[in-house]
Structure 1
Amino acid sequence: MRATNRLSAKGISAAAPGKYADGGGLWFVKRDDGGAQWVLRVTIHGRRREMGLGAFPAVGLGEARRKADEARAKVRDSVDPIKDRERQRREAARKLHLFQDIAQDAFESRKAALKGDGQAGRWFSPLALHVLPKLGKIPVSEIDQIDIRDTLLPIWHTKSETARKALRRIGICIKHAAALGLPVDLQAVEKADALLGKSRHKAEHIPAMRWQDVPSFYASLNEGSTAHLALRLLILTGVRSSPLRHMHEDQMDGDIWTIPGEKMKGRRDATPDYRVPLVPEALDIIEQARRVSRSGFLFPSVRKGVISDATMARLMERRKMEARPHGFRTSLRVWLAETTDARYEVAETMLAHTVGSAVERTYKRTDFLEQRRILLLRWADHVTGKTGKVLQLASAQ
């Protein structure tokens, strides 16, 4: 009898339930229920092992013999074929982590550190809109700089800021994959950036109203509606729209409004709270807003929550104005530069901009509150049409 290749394709198809040896440790096992499979018996490191080679007829006689030969070759090299197959399966599984799954996992791990827990989806939207439709179904370990370049090139020169955000998000996702132990190219984003080159897109600044025109606009906000009051307070304080829209009674203490660090733009875990001095004109607006406040929020929406980011902008759009609410921060900054001698760091702090290095900020522990109060008093005088005088500030250390 032959030592190997004892079975025939015709014979195994008609075989009754039982075990049939093909030789060399390869067995055909036919079950009572009609199913069948291939089993290879080998001895490795003094241990007898049984290795399944697949079900019949999906794995035919020829393929079973080929798999058996490969396993026997590994045994001759003192490699356990069963452990080696499991290792290969694990490696294959690691490579099958799709980019869309990694991106979602990266977002979930960072959501708590994002403004509003990332509920608005702004962190994820550059990926969802411009990256996942092309790279989402690709294993993250297979993504290289060419894939990233080809994905972002259509918007690189037309939507520069969005493309940059998408590139940064891809980098975060790849680092997240590396932290999970997946084989990725950590330099892929840097290489893609080099391939994409400098963007031809010119950033468009948010339209701002000339500071000389602010008083007449401020005077026109005289209906006492939530939108009018919010716009007035936005102009007087120079803050961004989001913290103003979410202004809450708990944040106020007399004539000081403290915006929690997590509500500030570009939030970091160590972002300090930001104090805003409230001048009499601002306090008067707050008193008016309290008449329609809900759950402590001074600018509630008609239905639920607070007014949307677009509420104030639409008011200006309906008046056919080019300027937008955020532009009043520019109006204030230009007024500071042209009509006062406020030091740079004081003027920038007025807009809650970060000034100086981390080391400098560590030693310079001041937010220039009283100097900012004086400036905001003069700004309020200008806005309400009470004065147009140029302000000279005494130098303060």
Structure 2
Amino acid sequence: MRALHKLSAVKARTAPPGKYSDGGGLWLHKRSDGGAQWVLRVTVHGNRREMGLGRAKLDDSRSSDGLTLKEAREAADKWRSVARSDKDPIKERERERREAARERHTLNVVADEAFEARKAELKGDGKAGRWFTPLELHVLPRLGKTPIEDIDQNDIKLTLAPIWHEKADTARKAMNRLGIVMRHAAAMGLDVDLQATEKAKALLGKSRHVAKNVPALPWQEVPNFYKSLSEATLTQLALKLLILTGLRSMPIRHARLDQIDGEVWTVPAEYMKGLKGKAQDFRVPLSKEALAVMEQARPFARDGWLFPNVRKGVLSDATMSRYMERLEMDARPHGFRSSFRTWCAEATDVPREVAEAALAHATGSAVERAYRRTDFLEQRRALMERWADHVTGGSGKVVRMVG
């Protein structure tokens, strides 16, 4: 055995630039710029390998950066032992680093990173939690501590099987989010199976859950319900505006005074389900009745919101639904969109494109939509006036001519 420990701490610190052997293949390389590093030379399978052990710490500073002479000798002992077992210490170190990284990159960690990366695409930076909640409730409790590189289709199957048929929509969202997290991991350079979620779907089979449409009030009964909204409360006024405009509850609840210009209400794309992430906002032609409802709600406005909550923010998402529940109705607020669309089909001769545009639905192929540069605002204005006339007890045949 070659002599070991030939260097002293003093010599290592005071020696001029050059290369100094400590024995056993351990060398100290001192550079002219004042820096220094430890290098270990070993022979594996007849080939000499030179392995950097790290920066040399030769002073008495408390910095944790670098290896002292004692620490360098300990590291050299470890890697010489690896070389004696006919393993390449450089490759073995890389393997250990990958293993350590694998242990650090659990599903919990990568899911958080993926969520952070997508926040800019989500409403309110995802603070409401709807994007992350399916993962948080149904995936992370079981798989969160598992290295993401170890997750396969069987793990995903066992995790989502309990809700696959009973809570089909939630399971679908959880699977979708998990697929996004797996793709994020691949972008990080991790060795994940990008087909794991698709394979898991194959193992789980087709969901037995039968989707149910939101209960809707028949269009013939809408006038009686509208007439019953006789109190000028925020909830009833919000329901009236929802019925009159055919919008979902989100744009109604987030209506702002500065969005209204004359007889047109411009709803920001972020509040429209089909327009999120797109540049265009959605113009809503307001009937005389809708304008009257907004005028009734104006005294309640706070911080610019037309339908503020009692404490802060805007009217709760469930407020209108609970109102209809207390009336022991099967129908729900979202169902009035169906009431309106069925009325269009059965009681009017309005073109399909106009009726769908009123609901902010896309029609036709992508090419057709690219060449169609209209949102049918004037046609929708006449249509919504007819709908308002029907809702308030009229015939629904009145058409307001626009000059």
- The TM-score, its normalising length taken from structure 1, stands at 0.81
> In the aligned structure 2, how far is the partner of 1:46 from the partner of 1:109?
41
1:363-383 deviation digits (Å, cap 9, x = unpaired): 111111111111111110010
Decide whether aligned partners of structure 1 residues 46 and 183 sit closer, same or farther in structure 2, where only a CA change above 3 A counts.
closer
Range that drifts further, 344-353 or 65-74: 65-74
Is 1:179 the counterpart of 2:187? The answer is yes
Residue 25 of structure 1 and its aligned partner are, at CA, apart by: 3.8
**AA at the equivalent of 1:141:** E
Residue 251 of structure 1 aligns with which residue?
259
Residue 8 of structure 1 aligns with which residue?
none
> In the aligned structure 2, how far is the partner of 1:141 from the partner of 1:86?
19
Decide whether aligned partners of structure 1 residues 46 and 141 sit closer, same or farther in structure 2, where only a CA change above 3 A counts.
closer
> In the aligned structure 2, how far is the partner of 1:136 from the partner of 1:190?
20
Q: Secondary structure at the match of 2:284?
A: strand
Unmatched segments (≥5 aa) in structure 1: 5-23, 28-38, 52-63
Residue 71 of structure 1 aligns with which residue?
83
Decide whether aligned partners of structure 1 residues 317 and 72 sit closer, same or farther in structure 2, where only a CA change above 3 A counts.
same
1:193-236 deviation digits (Å, cap 9, x = unpaired): 11111111100111111111111111111111111110100000
Decide whether aligned partners of structure 1 residues 381 and 353 sit closer, same or farther in structure 2, where only a CA change above 3 A counts.
same
Is 1:160 the counterpart of 2:172? The answer is no
1:226-252 deviation digits (Å, cap 9, x = unpaired): 111101000000001011100001211
Range that drifts further, 173-182 or 191-200: 191-200
> In the aligned structure 1, how far is the partner of 2:149 from the partner of 2:275?
31
1:155-234 to structure 2, matched below 5 A, reads 155-234=163-242
Residue 383 of structure 1 aligns with which residue?
391
Is 1:101 the counterpart of 2:109? The answer is yes
Decide whether aligned partners of structure 1 residues 46 and 291 sit closer, same or farther in structure 2, where only a CA change above 3 A counts.
closer
Residue 87 of structure 1 aligns with which residue?
94
Q: 2:288 aligns with which of 280, 305, 313?
A: 280
**AA at the equivalent of 1:71:** A
**AA at the equivalent of 2:153:** Q
1:17-48 deviation digits (Å, cap 9, x = unpaired): xxxxxxx9499xxxxxxxxxxx9964464858
Unmatched segments (≥5 aa) in structure 2: 3-22, 27-37, 55-75
Q: Over aligned residues, Cα RMSD in angstroms?
A: 3.2
1:170-213 deviation digits (Å, cap 9, x = unpaired): 11000000011111011111111111111111001111111111
Residue 305 of structure 2 aligns with which residue?
297
Residue 387 of structure 1 and its aligned partner are, at CA, apart by: 1.6
| Structure 1 runs, 4 residues or longer, greater than 3 Å off | 24-27, 39-51, 64-69, 72-75
Q: Secondary structure at the match of 1:121?
A: coil
1:30-41 to structure 2, matched below 5 A, reads none
Aligned length: 351
Contact 1:340 1:392 in 2 (8 A): no
Contact 1:299 1:306 in 2 (8 A): yes
> In the aligned structure 1, how far is the partner of 2:245 from the partner of 2:237?
12
1:354-393 to structure 2, matched below 5 A, reads 354-387=362-395, 389=397
Is 1:316 the counterpart of 2:317? The answer is no
Q: 1:125 aligns with which of 120, 128, 133?
A: 133
Identity of aligned residues (%): 57
Q: Secondary structure at the match of 2:155?
A: helix
Q: Secondary structure at the match of 1:258?
A: strand
Residue 306 of structure 1 and its aligned partner are, at CA, apart by: 0.8
Decide whether aligned partners of structure 1 residues 223 and 187 sit closer, same or farther in structure 2, where only a CA change above 3 A counts.
same
**AA at the equivalent of 2:93:** E
Is 1:332 the counterpart of 2:344? The answer is no
Q: 1:346 aligns with which of 335, 341, 354?
A: 354
Contact 1:290 1:298 in 2 (8 A): yes
Range that drifts further, 189-198 or 216-225: 189-198
Contact 1:42 1:50 in 2 (8 A): no
1:237-248 to structure 2, matched below 5 A, reads 237-248=245-256
**AA at the equivalent of 2:392:** T
Contact 1:114 1:267 in 2 (8 A): no
> In the aligned structure 2, how far is the partner of 1:279 from the partner of 1:40?
81
> In the aligned structure 2, how far is the partner of 1:168 from the partner of 1:48?
44
Decide whether aligned partners of structure 1 residues 183 and 233 sit closer, same or farther in structure 2, where only a CA change above 3 A counts.
same
> In the aligned structure 2, how far is the partner of 1:352 from the partner of 1:49?
63
Decide whether aligned partners of structure 1 residues 197 and 49 sit closer, same or farther in structure 2, where only a CA change above 3 A counts.
closer
> In the aligned structure 2, how far is the partner of 1:364 from the partner of 1:381?
29
> In the aligned structure 1, how far is the partner of 2:52 from the partner of 2:245?
77
1:9-24 to structure 2, matched below 5 A, reads none
